[in-house]
Amino acid sequence: MISEWVVSILLLFGGTFILIGSIGLVKLPDFFMRLHGPTKATTLGMASMLIAAMVYFANSGHGLSVKEILITIFLLITAPISGYMLIKSAIHHKLKAKEGTKGLDNVEDD
Amino acid sequence: MRLQARYRWLPTPFRSVFLFVIWLLLNNSVSAGHLVLATFFAIFIPLLSFSLRDPQPLILKPGLAFKQLIIVLYDIVVANLQVALLIMGPAKKLRPAFIKVPIDLMHDMPITILASCVSLTPGTVSAEIYPIPESLAEGEEPTQRYLLIHVLDLKDEEALIKQIKQRYEAPLKEIFQC
């Protein structure tokens, strides 16, 4: 009973965060700002959904499953790397940043 | 800073432990057969792959590394709440900025960890390291390196740079002793 509550809360929490990350993708004005949604909000959302899966399967008689921890670790390792590759190629293609972005002269050409 | 491990047959002790745990997690079992196989992989994969890589500083303070991991995990949760609030708020109020953070770390591995921590934590995504290694002449060492980061909502540049240096860079310097 308690585990059902925990699973529901974690799923709702994770779902909300993934939704907010996706809203950020649509709503924010330029590429660099849009990048903040998927590198952060989605990571936490996925992590809490995976923990929910772990709690659910631990209580459904299938024995303790720990593979979800592995998925979380890989997600935490790969999310910043893919974000880094995206922003690096965006700089390389000289994508326009939003008007009024400070410190644009800090970006050097490569 | 130490590049060479204590035992030659175990060049990267923490990667070996990591491989051992990953193998057991992948198979979701701790039976004797998997323990033996995991030990085999943990010893031989680093031995085979070690000579293919540039030597990187070893973790010399495992306790501190664990503490830092907990801090970063906590920051990831807080960062997500902050970024969620920023995204849901009015987009016009956001003040995006590119800023340069001077870094003292010299090796690829600690810099990668620092850049990843910065990407995962409050409102910042790391973009580039200056000077770019290819732009340097052969054998020339950069005097001062910068990490270019993109900030979603910049309030105080000085404070942010100070926070990154104290909260993420200083422990890394301590852990790798470089």
Q: What is the pLDDT of residues A50-83, one digit of tens each?
A: 888 888 888 877 777 778 888 888 888 888 888 8
User: Is the same domain home to B123 and B39?
Assistant: no
Mean predicted confidence (pLDDT) in A87-99: 81
Percent of chain B predicted with pLDDT > 70: 89
Is A15 a domain residue?
yes
Does A100 sit within 8 Å of B28, measured CB to CB?
Answer: no
Structural domain range at position A43: 2-95
Task: Provide the shortest C-alpha distance from residue B96 to chain A (in Å).
Answer: 5
List the one residue out of B83, B73, B78, B146 whose CA is nearest residue B115. Answer: B146
List the one residue out of B45, B164, B176 whose CA is nearest residue B109. Answer: B176
Q: What are the angstrom distances between the C-alpha of A48 and each of A83, B171, B177?
A: 20, 27, 34
Task: Provide the shortest C-alpha distance from residue A36 to chain B (in Å).
Answer: 7
pTM assigned to the model: 0.80
Task: Provide the shortest C-alpha distance from residue A2 to chain B (in Å).
Answer: 23
User: Is the same domain home to B88 and B153?
Assistant: yes
Number of domains in chain B: 2
The pLDDT confidence band at residue A15, using thresholds 50, 70 and 90, is very high
Whether the per-residue pLDDT at B139 is higher than 70: the answer is no
Is A100 a domain residue?
no
Does B125 sit within 8 Å of A35, measured CB to CB?
Answer: yes
ipTM above 0.85, yes or no: no
Is A106 a domain residue?
no
- How many Å apart are CA B75 and CA B77, to the nearest integer? 5
User: Is the same domain home to B106 and B169?
Assistant: yes
What pLDDT is recorded for position B136? 60
Mean predicted confidence (pLDDT) in B26-52: 86
Cβ–Cβ contacts within 10 Å for residue A12, how many? 12
List the one residue out of B157, B174, B22 whose CA is nearest residue B113. Answer: B174
User: Is the same domain home to B16 and B88?
Assistant: no
Does A76 sit within 8 Å of B120, measured CB to CB?
Answer: yes
Cβ–Cβ contacts within 10 Å for residue B120, how many? 24
User: Is the same domain home to B77 and B162?
Assistant: yes
Q: Given B26, B132, B135, which is nearest A70 (Cβ)?
A: B26
**Minimal Cα distance from A16: which residue of B?**
B84
| Cβ proximity of B110 and B58 under 8 Å | no
What pLDDT is recorded for position B133? 60
Is A109 a domain residue?
no
| Cβ proximity of B84 and B135 under 8 Å | no
